[in-house]
Each structure stands twice: as C-alpha cells, then as structure tokens.
Chains A and B, each alone.
Chain A
Amino acid sequence: MPSAILADPAEVTSSEAALRRFLHGLPGVDRVGTEARAAMLATRSIKTDAKVAAIDLAIRMIDLTTLEGADTPGKVRSLCAKALHPDPGAPDTPRPAAICVYGDLVAEAKAALGDFGVHVAAVATAFPSGRASLDVKLADVAYAVAAGADEIDMVIDRGAFLAGRYRDVFDEIVAVKAACARGEAAGGGSAHLKVILETGELSTYDNVRRASWLAMLAGADFIKTSTGKVAVNATLPVTLVMLQAVRDFREATGRQVGVKPAGGIRTTKDAMKYLVLVNETVGSDWLDPDWFRLGASSLLNDLLMQRQKLATGRYSGPDYVTVD
C-alpha cells in the first residue's frame, strides 16, 4: 500500500491540512475483519520446542513495569533484582529487556541494574493522562534522560488527537524526540522514544491506524498501545492494526519502528498470541526485543512457571518463582 500514499513524508507533515488529508486518506480498517483475523491467529498452537524458544523470546521482550503511586526505591531495587535474576534456580533464564518506572526512580533503577544490559525506561510527559503544558512535559522528559533513562515512554495528547488537532500532536512528539537527546557529557546519542497512543481512549481502529502513522512520521522509535491506566489496554486486534502500520511504514520509508502492547498481558498464553501476531503480520524482522516489547508486570512469573514446567515436566506453583 504505502509507497503510493507516502511519496514525501516532509510534504504530508508540512501543514495541518496536509497532515489531515494524509491521515484521513489511509485505507480504512474493517472492525469485523480485523477482529476475526486476530481471533483466528489466537488459535495457533505453539508446542514443544517452539514453545521453549518462544517463552525465552517473550521473557527477553518484557518491559518489566511498576507504575504505582506507592513505588519506592526499595520496590524498584527489588524489581531490578528480579530483572537481573529472573529465576534464581535456573541461571540460564534470559533477562527482560527493560525496567519501566516513573522518571523520579530512574537513577535508583540505573544504579541497581548496573551494566548487565537491562535498559531503564521512564514514562514521561505527564503520564498517564498527558495533561500538562508542553514545558512541563519536556522538563519531565529531560529530567528522566538526565537521570540516565535509556528509553522514554511518552503519552500523546489524546484530547488534541480526538479534536482533530493532529499537527499539535505531531509537534509535541517532535519536541519530545528532541528532548530525548543526551548531552555530550552523557555520551551523546538519544534515548529511545516510545509513543503511547492510549488506544483504549482512541476507541476506533481507524484512529489507531492514524495515530500510529502520526507518531511514526513524528519520529517515534516505538509505538505503544497503552498506559495500563485506563479501562481498555492492549488487545490483539489493536496490536494487529499497529503491526500493519509499522510494516507499511517501513515499506514506504525504509525506517523500521517497533511495537509495544502494554497492559493486561498476564499469561504465557497471552504472550504466545502476541508473538504469533507478530510472526504472521510482520515476520521475523520484528521477532526481537529491539522491535517488539511486552509491557507487563505479572507476565514474567507466568512465563517462568511455564519455563520450569517445560524443563522439569512438572508444574511447580507460584511459590517456586520469586515475587518482587
């Protein structure tokens, strides 16, 4: 589809009108068909050695998350310990991709994680509602980046999006992307930017597709479904639409963007369904923690229990995985 519809990304974002024309010109998403496709793929059966490999891949894709008002340095330290030693009884267990925390706990997490390659992701831009002035949002980002965040999970301004002010949403993402740059003293480069669409509030699949393109055009490294803080979080059909968007965007521009469903993914079975969705929509190029993440907190322990079961042939139980 896309090479024809996106000849020049700079042109389509040059004005509010051009951006609107482009987003509204994207092919529609059929609700019934999309949900049926996601439901069909959810029937795929991942067994034996495929399951062994898929469980380890899913663990490596986790952004292990704690985003509570009650988070403390102690809580974050214990979550980091969990990330470094997911299953103390099985040292070959891979580590999750990142720890995801609020910005004020980034320094604590960085210190606890050391140099083992587990990233620190910080939610920012007045997460989860996104309701603050641009200055406050940018300061929020800059603070987390300065504290050492490897990744920034920002939220879009859903109010602006639903009001049709696409250019405002676009400009804000561009500004946050700029704020992700690290100073020379911090080694330069830029924190990875994940853009949370909060699809549960966008409500239609057409909006999800438009918001996905909008975020990618504005420079998102990842597009993410949800904050986990509203009634509807990640779903398979929404993730399917976002995967179609990154697939088409790469075809049109050559740039690959990652996808992160978050919220409500609790079981190994859930995780397998998402991996199948990735496999059959965008293929193996995205079957890597660099390009697909699962935002979750309780999922890890379920994966570990399944991992133990496959290794020993017996179900252990929740007391045989650590609670952190």
Chain B
Amino acid sequence: MGNPFEYAPAPESRAIVDIAPAYGLFIDGTFAEAADGGRLKTVNPATEEVLAEIAVGGEADVDRAVKAARKAFKSWSALPGAQRAKYLFRIARLIQEHARELAVLESIDNGKPIRESRDVDIPLVAAHFFHYAGWADKLAHAGLWRSRTNEHSGADPKPIGVAGQVIPWNFPLLMLAWKVAPALACGNTVVLKPAETTPLTALRFAEICVEAGLPNGVVNIVTGAGETGRALIAHPDVDKVAFTGSTAVGKEIARTIAGTRKRVTLELGGKAANIVYDDAAIDSAVDGIVEGIFFNGGQVCCAGSRLLVQESVADELLASLTRRIKTLRVGDPLDKNTDVGAINSAAQLSRIQELVAAGEAEGAERWSLAGELPGKGFWFPPTVFTGVTQAHRIARDEIFGPVLTVQTFRTPAEAVEKANNTAYGLSAGVWTEKGAKALWTAQRLRAGVVWTNTFNKFDPASPFGGFKESGFGREGGRHGLEAYLDV
C-alpha cells in the first residue's frame, strides 16, 4: 500500500450492545407499552438503519409517570442525604462499568464519533453522578438559604418535588446526567423525556437504575416526540421544569408554564464567539477553533460557531486552520479514528443545508472539506465561511452543524462588541497569551461560560447556563443545586 497513514478501518465492535427490537416506557420501575400503543422508530443516522421501535408516551402515560414520581417523592425525599448518595454512587459506578457499551450505543443512536462518546460523553456522565452523589448529604453546606416558602423547612434546604425534564439529542446521556443527578441528590423525583431521535441510552440508563436498586418511581423515562414533552411540561402535578433544547421550544415552554407555580430552568441555543487575538498561541488556537466548531459536528449549543480573528493575523490563521481541517477524518462514527461523525437527523441536515445556502446567497465565501461522504445516512462536511458580516443570517442564526463563520476585528473593544452583538449568550472563547487581556475580555463578554485558551471543556463542578435567549438557570456544580431546591 502507499501511505500507511491512510489508516486502515479501526471499528469499535458493536457486539457489546444488545438493542431490543422494541422498548416500552419506564414508569414506576417497570417497562410498559404506551396506553394507546403509539410507536416511533429510532434510526442510526450514519446508515439510516432502523435500530428499534420506541413507545410514544401520551397524556395518560405522562400522567401515570408523574403519579409514580409523586408517590415515590414522599419516601425518596425523606431519605437521609447519605442514603440517596449511596444510590447515586452506585449509578455512577455502574455507568463506569458499562462505559464501553454506553459509548457504542450513544454513537450508534446519535452519530457522534466513538472517540467523543468514549472519551468525553460517558466519562462526564459518570463524573456528574459522582459529583452530585457527594453533594447529597451536604446540602445544608451549599451556601444556599433555608426555604423562604416553607416555614417547616428546618436546617436543610428542601427538594421541590416532581421534576419534568426534557432533553435534546446532541448529548443524550450527558444531558440526562445533568438533569437527573442534581435532581435526585436534592431529593426530587423525575420524569424525563429523551429526544425522539436518541432514546436508547436513556432506556439503558433506566435498566441501570433497576440494577442499582433505585426505588420504583424515583426515575421515570417517558419516550416520545414533541407532544409527549408538551404533555409532561403542562402536567399540573409537575413542580419543576428543566429543559435543554432550542430557543423556540424554550419560549413555548415559558408561555405554557406562565402563571403556574412551576419553577423552570432553560438551557437554550447559542451563537458563541471565539475570539483570537494576534498574540495567541496560534497552533493551540487552531486546535481550539476546530474543537469549538467540529466537536460533535457542531451540534453543540455552546459551539464556537463565530470565529472573530484579529485582522493582522487573519490570513495566516486561516491558512493554518484550513491545513488543520484537511486532516479531519469524516465518516463511520464507530471508527476509532473518526473526528467528525454523522448529522443526527434528516431534519437537522436540511436545516444546516438551508442556512448554508443562505450564507452563499448572501455573498459569504464558502469552503468545505473535500472528500467523499458516505452514501447513506446524514452527512455534512466541515465548512468555513469567510467574508461574513454581522448582517449575514449565518452569523446570527444558530446553525447547529459543522459550519464556522469567520469575521475579523481590529481592537479588543471591537471584538467584544461583535461577540456580544447576538441574541444569545451561552459561551465564548478568548485566545491570547496575555493574562490581563484575557481577563479584560472575559469580564466584558455576556456569556455564561467563557473559555480562555481552550474550548468546550466541561466539568461537573463548573456551572453552565446562558444569558439572554440562551436561557436561565445554571446546571452543574454548587449552582446547579439551586434549581432543585426550595430556596
């Protein structure tokens, strides 16, 4: 053969996962069909192969799940924190024990590269459960106040009740962990609806809850599509709503629960600026730009989708960036050497295509990584738009795909102004070797997370959440407890 570094295929084995032909809803500790027998299919986005049929929960099923959660809440919330911690530690360890299986399953159902599900998603899932397991018996020391609404609250902050949680398809199991771990640690019970295109790891998680001996009804998983989510959020006995997803749906949720007693946290879209100053460590900045926009194919709410580069280094940075993107390996998500996997669904692919077409129509210059994409499945090549202005739709709308827009700036003030000139405010990146400049910039960015000389770094101890149309409330760390306590 020619260059040995074409890399022969190195597929991770699928044998470790056992996908059933059909799955029911996980309510009160057991799996059951939907009351009206509704089903939908979940497919592998890399091949369009049907993986399994999934029950579609209707209003009656949601009601049954909320009732089960309500019933379980009484005893679960009464458990000493250390006892709840025991279950959470157990779940965390089981996730580690099943790490490879969960990673393969996630990559099959979602389309993300196995390198990411194996090295990022699943380790973070376990880390979240470990982190919040540690908090369960220390809630009184979290720096949160006693309940203002419950005069009998005693020394410890009290849980809220039944949490209705709706999560997206881009990090299926990780978003579940962000929602379930703090809720349970604080003594709440949950009804969770996974995304319609990625329900499989949540269903496997349900089995792990059984394996961990978690009491029935503490965690309920109701699969389905938009209607199921609407029913859950509108259910009168849900005390707390937690949602991660699009800003449009977030607004609908806010309207639905307006005037009710329900508390809500929303983690919505983003259009993050990644600011590269002329004194940045260029090689690492290039890696960070790539990580920022092509991690999970850019299907990340905090993706660094807008590159703002100082004009004086723009040409050389773009040359380095292009050279680096050409080394990316797009293809089979289960190949251990794949850098960019499949787009999660046909619907998402057409949204990316529509916005890219808009970018071209509005006169921005498009460059896409050449190379053949797989014939089946949903794929989009890593793409960079130059000659972009703030007025372009691709610079304003969240694309949620592997598409980077590039703009230049002259001064730090201009960089900050352009970075903040968006309806969103979820994350941002700053690249400079000068510490003072990094701090100056970070202090002025209206974004929930600002990464300096890195991007897309997550840790369960670090709070995550947005400004403006990126939502409100924080998940992760001590701050993440507040959303699940009556304080």
Give A contacts to B, CB under 8 Å: 1, 3-4, 27-30, 32-34, 36-37, 40, 43-54, 57, 244, 275-276, 279-280, 284, 287
* Nearest CB in chain B to that of A53: its residue: B4
B453 on the A face (CB < 8 A)? yes
Interface pick from B7-15, B70-78, B134-142: B7-15
The 9 A-B residue pairs with the shortest CB-CB distance in the complex, in nearest-first order:
A33-B284, A53-B4, A45-B10, A30-B284, A30-B281, A50-B8, A279-B5, A45-B336, A28-B433
B330 interface contact, C-beta 8 A: no
Would you call A27 and B453 a contact (CB within 8 A)? no
CB atoms of B287 and A43 under 8 A apart: no
Q: Does B147 contact A (CB under 8 A)?
A: no
Instruction: Report yes or no: A46 in contact with B8, Cβ–Cβ below 8 A.
Output: yes
Bound CA span A287–B3, Å: 9
- In the complex, the answer to whether B283 meets A275 with C-beta atoms within 8 Å is no
How far is B9's CA from A276's CA once the two chains are assembled, in angstroms? Answer: 15
B119 touches A32 (CB 8 A): no
B6 within 8 A of A: yes
The smallest beta-carbon distance between A287 and chain B, in angstroms, is 7
Is B47 an interface residue when CB atoms closer than 8 A count as contact?
Answer: no
Asked if B336 contacts A34 (CB within 8 A), the reply is no
Taking the nearest CB of chain A, how far is it from the CB of B307, in angstroms? 16
Chain A residues whose C-beta falls within 8 Å of the C-beta of B9 in the assembled complex: 47-48
Out of A1, A4, A30, A40, which one reaches B453, CB within 8 Å?
A30
Additional 6 contacts, C-beta under 8 A, given A27-B282, A287-B5: A28-B433, A37-B287, A43-B115, A244-B283, A280-B327, A284-B5
Known contacts A32-B453, A33-B453, A27 near B337 by CB under 8 Å = no
Nearest CB on A from B317, distance (A): 8
Q: What residues of chain B lie closer than 8 Å to A3, measured between beta carbons?
A: 316
Q: Which residues of B come within 8 Å of A, CB atoms?
A: 1, 3-10, 115, 119, 279-285, 287-288, 316, 320, 327, 336-337, 433, 453-454
Structural contact, B283 and A34, CB atoms closer than 8 A: yes
Chain B neighbourhood of A49, CB < 8 A:
1, 4, 8
Check if A54 sits within 8 Å of B283, measured CB to CB: no
Choose one: B4, B284, B454; the contact of A57 (CB below 8 Å): B4
Q: Which residues from chain B contact A44 at a C-beta distance below 8 Å? A: 7, 336-337
Whether the Cβ atoms of B316 and A1 lie closer than 8 Å is: yes
**B4 and A33 form a contact (CB under 8 A):** no
Report how far A203 CA is from B428 CA in the complex, Å. 32
State how many angstroms separate the Cβ of A274 from the closest Cβ of chain B: 12
Q: Considering only CB atoms, which chain B residue lies closest to A240 in the complex?
A: B283
Q: Is the CB of A1 within 8 A of B320?
A: yes
- A36 shortest CB reach to chain B, Å: 8
**A28 and B281 in contact (CB under 8 A), knowing A1-B316, A45-B336, A49-B1?**
yes
22 contacts between A and B (CB under 8 A): A1-B316, A4-B316, A29-B283, A29-B284, A30-B284, A33-B281, A33-B283, A33-B288, A33-B453, A33-B454, A36-B287, A36-B454, A37-B283, A40-B115, A43-B119, A45-B7, A50-B4, A50-B7, A51-B4, A53-B1, A54-B4, A284-B3
* Docked pose: A40 CA to B4 CA in angstroms: 19
For the complex, give the distance between the alpha carbons of A4 and B314 in Å: 12
A residues within 8 A CB of B336?
A: 43-45
Query: How far, in angstroms, from A53 to B115 measured CA to CA in the complex?
Result: 24
Give A1 Cβ to nearest chain B Cβ, in Å.
Answer: 5
CB neighbours of A52 from chain B (8 A): 4
A275's contact among B5, B119, B320, B433, by CB below 8 Å, is which?
B5
Question: How far is B3's CA from A33's CA once the two chains are assembled, in angstroms?
Answer: 28
A40 to B8, CA, bound (A): 18
Chain B: minimal CB distance from A279 (Å): 4
Judging by beta carbons under 8 Å apart, are A29 and B281 in contact?
Answer: yes
Q: Is the CB of B283 within 8 A of A27?
A: yes
Q: How far is the CA of A287 from the CA of B4 in the complex (A)?
A: 10
- Inter-chain CA distance A9–B284, complex, in Å, is 25
Q: In the complex the two chains form, what is the Cα distance from A237 to B221 in whole Å? A: 44
Report the Cα distance A244→B3, complex, angstroms.
Answer: 21
Chain B residues with Cβ below 8 Å from A287 are 3-5
- In the complex, what residue of chain A is closest to B315 when comparing beta carbons? A4
Expressed in whole angstroms, the Cα–Cα distance for A33 and B285 within the complex equals 8
Contacts of B337 in A (CB 8 A): 44-45
When distances are taken between beta carbons in the complex, the residues of chain B under 8 Å from A279 are: 5
Determine the distance from Cα of A51 to Cα of B6 in the docked complex, in whole angstroms: 11
- Please state if B287 and A47 are interface contacts (CB–CB under 8 Å): no
Instruction: Write the nearest CB–CB distance from A204 to chain B, whole angstroms.
Output: 12
Question: How many whole Å from A38's CB to the nearest CB in chain B?
Answer: 10
Chain B nearest CB: distance from A33 CB in Å?
A: 3
Cα separation A54 to B3 with both chains bound (whole Å) = 9
CB distance from B295 to the nearest CB of A (A): 11
Q: Which residues of A contact B5 (CB under 8 A)?
A: 50, 54, 275-276, 279, 284, 287
A48 and B8: CB pair below 8 A?
yes
Cβ contacts under 8 Å, B279 to chain A:
27-28
Measured in the bound complex, the distance between the Cα atoms of B7 and A53 in whole Å is 10
Taking a contact as CB atoms under 8 Å apart, the answer to whether B284 and A37 are in contact is yes
Cα-based distance from A44 to B9 in the complex (angstroms)? 11
Cβ of B282: which chain A residues have Cβ within 8 Å of it? 1, 27
B410 to chain A, nearest CB (A): 17
Minimum CB–CB distance from A30 to chain B (whole Å) comes to: 4
Given the complex, which residues of B lie within 8 Å of A50, measured CB to CB?
1, 4-8
